Amino acid sequence: MRFLKQVTYGSLYLIVFALVGLGVYKVYFYETPTCFDGILNQNELSVDCDGTCIPCEIKNAKLETQTISVMRAGEGRVTVLAKVVNPINYNATFEYKINILGTFNTSLQSLSGASSINEESERYIVIPGIALNKDDVSKATIEITNAKWDEDSTTKLPEVELRNLQTVVTDDGARITGRAFNDSLDIIKRVRVTALLLDLGESVLGASAVDVQNIGVAQEKAFTVFFPELDAELEQSEVETKIFSEIIQSP
C-alpha cells in the first residue's frame, strides 16, 4: 500500500514538473509558427506560403521589365519609355526608379514614381519632355521596388474609358486627341493617358503621356497627347497607336 502511494505521488510530481517545464518552454523558448519564420510549418505547402500564408505564386513573383528606351522629344528634350510585365494572376502596385545615364555610365538624372498593373498584363511607363539632349544620353535603367500583389485576383484596377480617339501626323510630329469618360461613382482627381506611336511592324516610333485632372461622375474631359518630334518621317497611313489610361492614386 505504501509503495502504491509512493508511485502515485511520484507520478503526480512528474506530471506537475512536466507541466511546469512545458509552461516555461512555451513562455520563454517556444516560437509561435508564422508566415515569416523560414520554416515549413502550420499548413504551408511550401516554406512560408500557401495554406494560411500568402499564395506561393505571389511569394515567388517578380515584375519583369522588358523594354526601356530613350527617345528624342523635341529640341533639348527626351522621353523615357519602360515596359513592365506582370506574369502572374494577381494585380500589383509598385514603385520604380529610372536612372538616365550618359557617357561612361555617369548619372544624368534620376526619376521616381509609383504605378499599378493588372493581372497577367503589361504597363507602359512614359516620362515625356525631360530636359536632356538625346546625344548626351547613352541609356536608361529602371529598378522596380515595393511590389505588392492583391490576393483578391477578381478585382480589376479602375480605369477610365477613352473615347473619340483621333491621330494626326504632321511634318513636325504627331498628336492624339480624345475624351476621358468617368463611368465610376467617384470623382477622378487625376488620370494619366499614355500613348505609343507604332509603325506597321509594331516598332515604337514615339511615346508620350498627359494627365487629365478632376473628371466628375458621368462626365468626360478632352485631352491631347503631343509627340513633338519623330525620328522618322511617316505618312498617316503608316502609323498605328496604342493608348492606355491609369488612375493615379497619389498626388
Alpha-carbon distance 109 to 102, whole Å? 9
Q: Report which of 34, 74, 32 is spatially closest to residue 54, judged by C-alpha positions.
A: 34
Using alpha carbons, list the distances in angstroms from residue 92 to 46, 98, 191. 22, 19, 18
166, 177 in Cβ contact below 8 A? Answer: yes
pLDDT reported for residue 137? 94
pLDDT reported for residue 5? 53
Instruction: Classify residue 183 as left (phi > 0), alpha (psi -120 to 50) or beta.
Output: alpha
Alpha-carbon distance 226 to 228, whole Å? 6
Same fold, 62-149 and 161-247: yes
Sheet holding 92-101, edge to edge: 107-117, 92-101, 139-149
pLDDT reported for residue 236? 76
Cell readout for 195 is 500613348
CATH of 62-149, one of 2.60.450.10, 2.60.40.3230, 2.102.10.10, 3.40.50.800: 2.60.40.3230
pLDDT reported for residue 25? 44
pLDDT reported for residue 22? 47
pLDDT reported for residue 98? 95
pLDDT reported for residue 14? 60
Alpha-carbon distance 126 to 208, whole Å? 6
Contacts of 107 (CB under 8 A, 6+ apart): 99, 100, 101
pLDDT reported for residue 235? 76
Q: Which helix (H) or strand (E) holds 100?
A: strand 92-101
Note the pTM of the prediction, 2 decimals.
0.79
DSSP states along 38-59: SS--TT-SBTTBSTTS--HHHH
pLDDT reported for residue 103? 87
pLDDT reported for residue 6? 54
213, 242 in Cβ contact below 8 A? Answer: no
Cell readout for 234 is 511617316
pLDDT reported for residue 232? 64
Alpha-carbon distance 215 to 218, whole Å? 8
pLDDT reported for residue 57? 84
Q: Average pLDDT for consecutive 10-residue bins of the chain (251 residues)?
A: 53 55 49 78 80 84 90 90 93 94 92 91 93 94 92 72 92 90 90 92 90 93 89 75 86 51
Q: Which residue has the cell 504627331?
A: 174
Domain ranges, ordered by start, for the chain: 2-56, 62-149, 161-247
Strand 139-149 relative to strand 107-117, pairing? unpaired
Q: Give the CATH H-level superfamily of domain 161-247.
A: Immunoglobulins (2.60.40.10)
Q: Report which of 224, 234, 211, 209 is spatially closest to residue 166, judged by C-alpha positions.
A: 224
Which residues sit opposite 98 in a β-bridge?
A: 111, 142
